[in-house]
Structure 1
Amino acid sequence: MADQPEFRGSALVVRGTSTVYDVSQGSADVRSGTRCTARTRFQIASVSKQFTAAAVMLLVERGAVALDDDVSRWIGDCPPSWRGITVHHLLTHTSGLGHWEDFPELDLTAWMPSDELLKVFRESAPKFPPGSGWYYSSPAYVLLAHLVERAGGDPYRQFLTRQIFEPLGLHDTFAGAPGDRSEVAAGHAEGAVTPSYELDVVALGAGDIWSTTGDLLRWDQALATGAFLGDASRRLMFTPHAPTGLGELDAYGYGWQTGRIAGQPVRCHSGDNAGFKAFNAWFPDLSAYVIVLTNHAEPNPATLTAHLTRAHLLGT
């Protein structure tokens, strides 16, 4: 990667059953001098949305949730302006709800009671009627996490652990604040540790998961092989439901973007939390996966993913 800035974090490229690139390097935490390894757990930021969408689809398969349910079935005190917003709209970012920059009163690094957070969301009018446009919305995925709690009967983090992480053997993956867990990276900005996003309430369902490249590979392969979720659910997750206008990644499914990278069809998602960036990409035509996790600002994981794809999958 001589033409790339120094990479700090973990990157993995797998094609079929062969690992063609696997690197972990740089500081996991500059305060302690800890180095990144393959077992270092990073915030995967908005790649977490893949798990939120999967949790919803599990509940759909069980008949507990319907994709055309109105949001008011699961979220109390919905304002009149939310009328007509469905689970499908939340999953595809077509609800009209805003993103973090549309809620300047929120401090993304500070805990707050969940009812206060939902109150902030309710007080902001949607940008367009549901289904009439596309606008990326992390708050929409926070609402989906609350739906999972109500329909699934467990706190969101426990639902993910019991229904997804443990059955798939994702032993290095968890959601929420890390507490005293080991092998957890610190986020960095300009060479120093930066305050983390609040993960237990504010980023719930939208960017709250920690993982490793190895666990994300197992996650991708479970979806690719049909080891997790039924065919209909997986087909819906990867259907390009809504055009995004975001260059080659031009459509959004349920927790996954679709389009092309380096000319190859891809199913993917990026992530960007304070001090962390991530990119998870599955290339179905190549039977290949490229996963990049970093706790530093550079290089951009999407750019690095394209480079790794060309260098290690396409030989260009």
Structure 2
Amino acid sequence: MVPINLKYITKALIGTVLFFGTTVLKAESDSIQFYELKHLEQEVAPYLKKGFKGTIIVANNYGVIFHKSAGDAIQGQASYSTDTVVDLASVSKQFTAAAIMKLQQQGKVSPSASISEYIAGVPDDKRSITVHNLLTHTAGFKRHLGRDETPLNKDSFIASVMSLPLTYAVGEKYHYSNIGYGLLAYIVEAVSGDKFETYLFKNLLEPAGMFSTGFLRPDWSERTVPKVTRSYAGFSSPLEMLLSTKEDFWNLKGGGGMLSSASDMVKWHKALSDGKIISLDTQQLMYSPHVAENEEGYYYGYGWSIVPKEGEEPLVWHNGMSFFGKAEYWRLPRKGLMIFVASHEGDVEPWSIAHALYKQVK
């Protein structure tokens, strides 16, 4: 992937990025800001020197501003690139939330509705749980139902969740829960009549041109999926683990497990920015700081973590961590900027790189 190179600029081109040598010219409203590519290179350089293995990309609504990939995705066999398929882990939650909000736009789901509107046989202790509670981690569920690699079918998943005692009263507090996002995936299937991945593809991924994002639908045979040098539960990659479940991965579905590439995450950013798949008004609901997280200054929206900044645009972001890698996806929607960093192993934290780049472009 190469940076865009536009030749002309007018006042109407809000948010356009231009390249003159190494200088990025960005017009935003009536102000003009300059981003020196060398400064982005300088921010990343120390982490490359420390041995970062992974992919880094910075983009705006029109294309890629900066990218860098380093190290082997598969030791001695394949190097990283912006097309390398990485484990999104909990960054996947934004797609689950987007699917729910797409169903809202289609008039099929309401965030304020009880989950009993969409799930049969909800017991009394859970009937007050709303879709909003699931989206904001305030339903009262514990964090996990079972291990990612343990096969679990849909019927067993819902029966187990409905019989679980709640850890907290509904709405009492924020408590991060993959179980809640699994229930959201269940609701997507119940309401749409499609399998979760099928609904994601038809309504979000395909319209965005994201053909290298998903669980098992894409043909991964010609793509590089990183392999860890120390296997987890006998698996060296997230794809191996997904394949082993024979599609019964309800311990993971909704809350994590999606695979994607830096290139596709740029397409997702652009699709969100133009508001054609998820309306801009609906996105405002997703990016609202609905509930305080457990760390001061951090709030949770719908599938996104929100960090309000006094005098600045709030940071809209999410990270993910699994046994097969870490990912960071940071966005400034009003400025039209995004940062994506992913790595499958090593001592260099993707968060550190994302934060360094964020300080340069915010």
Query: How does the TM-score come out when normalised to structure 2?
Result: 0.77
Q: Is residue 319 of structure 2 the alignment partner of residue 270 of structure 1?
A: yes
* Deviation sequence 1:118-176 (CA, Å, 0-9, x none): 33323322222222210111111111011001111111111111111111111221224
Which ranges in structure 1 are unaligned for 5 or more consecutive residues?
Answer: none
Q: Which has the higher contact order (CA 8 A, sep 6+)?
A: 1
* Residue 53 of structure 2 corresponds to residue 8 of structure 1: yes
Q: Write the mapping of 1:1-316 to structure 2, written as runs, cut at 5 A.
A: 1-4=44-47, 5-15=50-60, 17=62, 19-30=64-75, 33-100=77-144, 103=145, 106-176=146-216, 181-188=221-228, 191-194=229-232, 195=235, 196=238, 198=242, 200=247, 201=249, 202-248=251-297, 250-259=298-307, 265-284=314-333, 286-310=335-359, 312-313=360-361
Deviation at 1:245, TM superposition (A): 2.8
CA shift for structure 1 position 278: 0.7
Change over 3 Å in CA distance of 1:35–1:94 after alignment to 2: same
Query: Is contact 2:63–2:266 with CA below 8 Å preserved after alignment?
Result: no
Tell me the CA shift for residue 177 of structure 1. 7.7
Q: Among the aligned pairs, what percent are the same residue? A: 27
Residue of structure 1 equivalent to 2:14: none
Q: The residue matched to 1:309 in structure 2 has which SS?
A: helix
CA distance in 2, matches of 1:142, 1:298: 31
Mapped to 2, the partners of 1:181 and 1:87 lie a distance apart of 37
**Number of positions where the alignment pairs a residue of Structure 1 with one of Structure 2:** 305
Q: Which runs of 5+ in 2 are unaligned?
A: 1-43
Provide the residue aligned with 2:36 in structure 1: none
Q: Structure 1 pair 272/154, CA: closer, same or farther in 2 (3 Å)?
A: same
8 Å contact kept, 1:27–1:35 = yes
Question: Normalized against structure 1, the TM-score is what?
Answer: 0.88
* Distance of 2:346 and 2:299 partners within structure 1: 26
Q: For residue 2 of structure 1, report the CA deviation from its aligned partner.
A: 4.1
CA contact (8 A) 1:96 1:128 kept: yes
Larger Rg over CA atoms: 2
Q: Is the 8 A contact 1:14 1:21 kept in 2?
A: yes
Moved more, 176-185 or 58-67: 176-185
Partner residue, 2:10: none
Deviations 1:18-66 (A, max 9, x none): 6342012222223x62211221111111111111111111111111111
Distance 1:68 1:264 in 2: 27
Is 2:85–2:226's contact at 8 Å kept on the other side of the alignment?
no
The Cα RMSD (Å) is 2.4
1:116 Cα shift? 1.9
